[in-house]
Amino acid sequence: MAAKNIFYAQSGGVTAVINATACGVIESARRERRLGKVLAGRNGIIGALREELIDTSLETPTTIAGLKFTPSGAFGSCRYKLKTIEENRAEYRRLVDVFRAHDIGYFFYNGGGDSQDTAHKVSQISVELGFPITCIGIPKTVDNDLPLTDNCPGFGSVAKYVAISTMEAGFDVASMAESSTKVFVLEVMGRHGGWIAAAAGLAQGNRNEPPHVILFPEIAFDKRKFLKKVKETVARVGYCVIVASEGAQYKDGTFVADAGMKDAFGHTQLGGVAPTLVDLIKQAYGYKCHWSVADYLQRAARHIASATDVEQAYAVGKAAVEFALAGKNAVMPIIVRQKGKRYRWKIGEAPLNRVANVERKMPRSYISTDGYGITKSCKNYLSPLIEGEDTPPYKHGLPQYVRPKNKLVRKVLPAFKV
């Protein structure tokens, strides 16, 4: 049997370490004579549908090794959700055509919840369309909301960025508070879950240290209680540092960010829970406030990635290759936390049908009673995930991130509209 090629695609929002997973896949596959080339989808699954396949065998070992310290999705990612085979048979037939034309026997899909759903659907091709393909989902999401795995590659690094940024901004506000800024608000990602905001809590040594208030999507925003907490904190500590999930919301599900800001034309302003909170605080108390929206900076900050996260991201890529060779199908490697006081982890596996479309929320026991902080058990969970620094190489003061050539394999099929 000729060695089959692997199709690998990056999907959904990218992270500081998804390329470390790509590195794990490609380096492991290159060592295996039983495997052919790794063909990466240009812009994820869209690349498979358009027959835009990047031939990673043309990249040097140095470039591939460099992926381990390069943020973002080196082959391009996408936000594109396949319908079911019943709803869009043409798309699945196209995938089979492309896979067959390029001798692809393995489908590796690297993404979050939606992506694992896609991977699961593709795994049904074998049965539904009679084309043999081995499907492995590979976990990736800054949101840390995949089930079964202890944590998600990508999360540890954003958590580290948020904890450090909160700590650093906290030091800044502390030194300015006497005659200037009294309140600082940092807005972080997390539309549905508070995992990222929770990580800010790692910066707090004792209750007088920042962050003084964390806003989670899981806890209904109560304006009066919040303002009271801010005032009480300023009175007690001299200043107040707030970290807010972009998904912070009122009891009725209205996002705090959507509550009122309008542009000159009367349109509701886009996002911005941080400026909205600052507006509330200024109107209530007149404090001088500063605010920051971390947005893409937080998930792209490879310069301050967690070494643990990088290692795990690489490991799930490597495991995907091992699973495929072991004949496993429709599974996803997961991170399993070992019992014991010292943090140790290993790779486990989960069936895709149990991963797809399940969203893991923060347990209530991880959030403090008043709803504005994290508990000791949450700290114990989060702390090992940000452990260790994995510094990229620098030249002239800048990280030397790599840009693969991304040369496409010659197309042999007619065009297909995506």
Minimum Å gap between C-beta 53 and its own copies is 15
Q: Would you say 80 or 131 has its CB closer to its own copies?
A: 80
Minimum Å gap between C-beta 89 and its own copies is 22
302 near its own copies, rule: CB under 8 A: yes
Q: Would you say 15 or 329 has its CB closer to its own copies?
A: 15
Answer for which of 33, 262, 341, 417 binds its own copies (CB under 8 A) is 262
CA distance 353 to 332: 10
- Counted residue by residue, the chain has a size of 418
389 near its own copies, rule: CB under 8 A: yes
79 near its own copies, rule: CB under 8 A: yes
Minimum Å gap between C-beta 228 and its own copies is 21
According to the 3-state scheme, what is the secondary structure of the chain? CCCEEEEEEECCCCCCCHHHHHHHHHHHHHCCCCEEEEEEECCCHHHHHCCCEEEHHHCCHHHHHHHHHCCCCCCCCCCCCCCCCCCCHHHHHHHHHHHHHCCEEEEEEEECHHHHHHHHHHHCHHHHHCCCCEEEEEECCCCCCCCCCCCCCCHHHHHHHHHHHHHHHHHHHHHHCCCCCCEEEEEECCCCCCHHHHHHHHHCCCCCCCCCEEECCCCCECHHHHHHHHHHHHHHHCCEEEEEECCCEECCCCEHHHCCCECCCCCECCCCHHHHHHHHHHHHHCCCEEEEECCHHHHHCHHHCEHHHHHHHHHHHHHHHHHHHCCCCCEEEEEEECCCCCCCEEEEEEEHHHHCCCCCCCCHHHECCCCCCECHHHHHHHHHHHCCECCCCEECCEECCCCCCCCECCCCCCCCCC
Q: Would you say 339 or 395 has its CB closer to its own copies?
A: 395
- Per CB under 8 A, contacts with its own copies among 107-166 are 160, 163-165
Comparing CA positions, the residue from 106, 79, 147 lying closest to residue 317 is 106
347 near its own copies, rule: CB under 8 A: no
Q: CA torsion 343→346→349→355, rounded to 10°?
A: 30
Q: Which of 61-69, 263-271, 312-320, 358-366 is the region at the interface with its own copies (rule: CB under 8 A)?
A: 263-271
Given 55, 143, 309, 390, the catalytic residue: 143
Minimum Å gap between C-beta 232 and its own copies is 22
- The verdict on whether 143 is a catalytic residue reads yes
Beta carbons within 8 Å of 58's beta carbon, 6+ residues apart: 405, 407
- Per CB under 8 A, contacts with its own copies among 23-62 are 43-44, 46
236 near its own copies, rule: CB under 8 A: no
Minimum Å gap between C-beta 136 and its own copies is 21
Minimum Å gap between C-beta 302 and its own copies is 6
Q: Would you say 303 or 360 has its CB closer to its own copies?
A: 303
206 near its own copies, rule: CB under 8 A: no
Q: Would you say 130 or 266 has its CB closer to its own copies?
A: 266
Answer for which of 4, 5, 13, 240 binds its own copies (CB under 8 A) is 13
65 near its own copies, rule: CB under 8 A: no
- Letters for 158-177 (x = contact with its own copies by CB under 8 A, - = none) are --x--xxx-xxx-xxxxxx-
Minimum Å gap between C-beta 396 and its own copies is 6
Answer for which of 96, 138, 203, 213 binds its own copies (CB under 8 A) is 203
64 near its own copies, rule: CB under 8 A: no
Contact 85, 121 (CB under 8 A): yes
Q: Which of 92-100, 111-119, 351-359, 397-405 is the region at the interface with its own copies (rule: CB under 8 A)?
A: 397-405
Q: Which of 123-131, 275-283, 320-328, 370-378 is the region at the interface with its own copies (rule: CB under 8 A)?
A: 275-283
Q: Would you say 138 or 324 has its CB closer to its own copies?
A: 138
> Which one-letter amino acid corresponds to residue 228?
K
378 near its own copies, rule: CB under 8 A: no
Report, as residue numbers or ranges, the catalytic residues: 143
